[in-house]
Amino acid sequence: MSTRIRRILRAVLVVAVTATSLQGTALASVPPPPGPPSEDPFYTPPSPLPPGGPGDVLRSRESLFTVDPVGRVPFRGVRSWQVLYRSESARGTPVAVSGTVLVPTRPWAGPGGRPLVSYTVGTRGLGDRCAPSYALTQGRDYEALFIADALGRGWAVTITDMEGLGTPGRHTYEVGGSQGRAVLNMARAARRLPDAGLGEGPVAVWGYSQGGTSAGWAAELAATYAPDLPLKGVVAGGVPADLRAVARSLDGSPFVAFMFMAAAGYDAAYPELGLAGHLNGNGRALLKRVESVCLLSFDGFATLLTTAFTRIGDYTTDNPLETEKWQARLDANKLGGTAPGVPVMQSHASLDEIIPFGQADALRRAWCAKGANLTWRTYGLAGHVIGAVRSEPDAIAFLTDRFAGKPAQSNCR
């Protein structure tokens, strides 16, 4: 058995054991799970926003964290809070974003303060009920076991919902400038949450797929946007770095729905793009449909199936991606323009059927050319989902070394 296979199997076992050991009986101090964000006043921010800066906590409450979708039994040994905090849009406008802070109750036994991982989730959808801060209370978050692995190591974990997911307004899906700010400000908010006790430890960022975009942007922005964060490393896997290249690959594929979701996200971030003006009747109906869709739901699967193998021209009167306005906004959110100031592990599956390998490799080359300390990992004979599973033990090992203060050995060539 190869060393890599053993590492993957060991990681799966650790996650399973962690999930089992952390779960326990319901705690009286934990309130019952609230309704979805559209029915929960917690997610509606004050208007106007009070004075403050990025990362300031607007409100918080103790919440539930579970991987049990039936009984919703909470994890034992982990405190959970939902927070509403200040962040900024891709244009730098103040916005309120929701998220989750998870802290093990066991005292941190390592040197320095407890490490904090700002975890950045993959695609959830555009509907407010897709927000991770809600899904994590229902035991229905598909990355919860990765989060549990980090918690089992004594690390605190934050998970941002990103702009417009949970909170009012359309989610700015795959708008990297917004997502990167939300990730960094989520870490700031956790460190400013009094009960969490996270003001002293090192910080890292970890994400895959849409989360890879968020992590990559956090890596590029951190030095200038959040120099107060003691960021030690970033893991970015399955990264959609260049959405123009991703769109070309998705057009006519089984996963074309992701392209339409991104179009809706960009239209939300940049209303002057006027997406509706490019759509025909089919396109307007699809836009209305995807605005509330969650990926892992009946309507999410139905949307994937009914749009599979269709093309942009089936929904538009003219292709917005061929206009200068759309190209300029997509290019402004393209990764690779700045070398991250901290070590980065970037990974990609060689047979990724959703996020093309070539544009990820182009990001690797761009970062390396600019002098980044980059650890590049590829996974042969793996598609998008298997790439996430295979990258998990490498991500954990990379973050463990960064928190331990070990130097990262770049393999840029």
User: Is 205 in a helix, a strand, or coil?
Assistant: strand
Distance CA 59, CA 15 (A): 31
Distance CA 133, CA 381 (A): 33
Q: Is residue 411 part of a domain?
A: no
Domain that holds residue 276: 251-263+270-331
* Same-domain pairing of 255 and 354: no
* Same-domain pairing of 155 and 23: yes
Per-residue pLDDT at 40 exceeds 60: yes
Are 79 and 103 contacting, i.e. CB atoms less than 8 angstroms apart?
A: yes
State how many domains the chain has.
2
High-pLDDT (> 70) share of the chain, %: 92
| pLDDT given for residue 6 in this prediction | 41
Per-residue pLDDT at 314 exceeds 80: yes
Are 181 and 87 contacting, i.e. CB atoms less than 8 angstroms apart?
A: yes
Per-residue pLDDT at 193 exceeds 90: yes
Are 193 and 83 contacting, i.e. CB atoms less than 8 angstroms apart?
A: yes
Q: CA angle at residue 187 from 184 to 188, to 5 degrees?
A: 90
Q: Note the pLDDT tens digit of each residue in 61-120.
A: 999 999 999 989 998 899 999 999 999 999 999 999 999 999 999 999 989 999 999 999
Q: What share of the chain is helix, strand, coil (3-state, %, to 5)?
A: 45, 15, 40
Whichever domain contains 122, its CATH number is 3.40.50.1820
* Same-domain pairing of 327 and 339: no
For residue 385, the Cα-to-chain-centroid distance in whole angstroms is 15
Per-residue pLDDT at 331 exceeds 50: yes
- Average per-residue pLDDT in the chain? 93
pLDDT mean over 22-30: 44
Q: Where are the alpha helices (DSSP H) in 86-143?
A: 132-138
* Same-domain pairing of 339 and 323: no
Are 210 and 240 contacting, i.e. CB atoms less than 8 angstroms apart?
A: yes
* Same-domain pairing of 324 and 364: no
Q: Note the pLDDT tens digit of each residue in 250-273.
A: 999 999 999 999 999 999 999 999
Per-residue pLDDT at 15 exceeds 50: no
Q: Is residue 412 part of a domain?
A: no
Which comes out higher in pLDDT, residue 27 or 380? 380
Q: 344-349 and 156-160: which strand pairing? A: unpaired
Cβ atoms within 10 Å, residue 156: 27
* Same-domain pairing of 291 and 351: no
Residue 140: burial class (beta carbons within 10 Å; 0-12, 13-18, 19+): buried
Are 281 and 316 contacting, i.e. CB atoms less than 8 angstroms apart?
A: no
Per-residue pLDDT at 10 exceeds 90: no
Q: Is residue 324 part of a domain?
A: yes
Nearest to 226 by CA among 176, 182, 194: 182
* Same-domain pairing of 104 and 47: yes
* Same-domain pairing of 130 and 224: yes
| pLDDT given for residue 13 in this prediction | 41
Residue 164: burial class (beta carbons within 10 Å; 0-12, 13-18, 19+): buried
Secondary structure E strands in 44-193 = 57-62, 78-88, 94-104, 116-120, 156-160
Phi-psi region of 125 (alpha: psi -120 to 50; beta: other; left: phi over 0): left
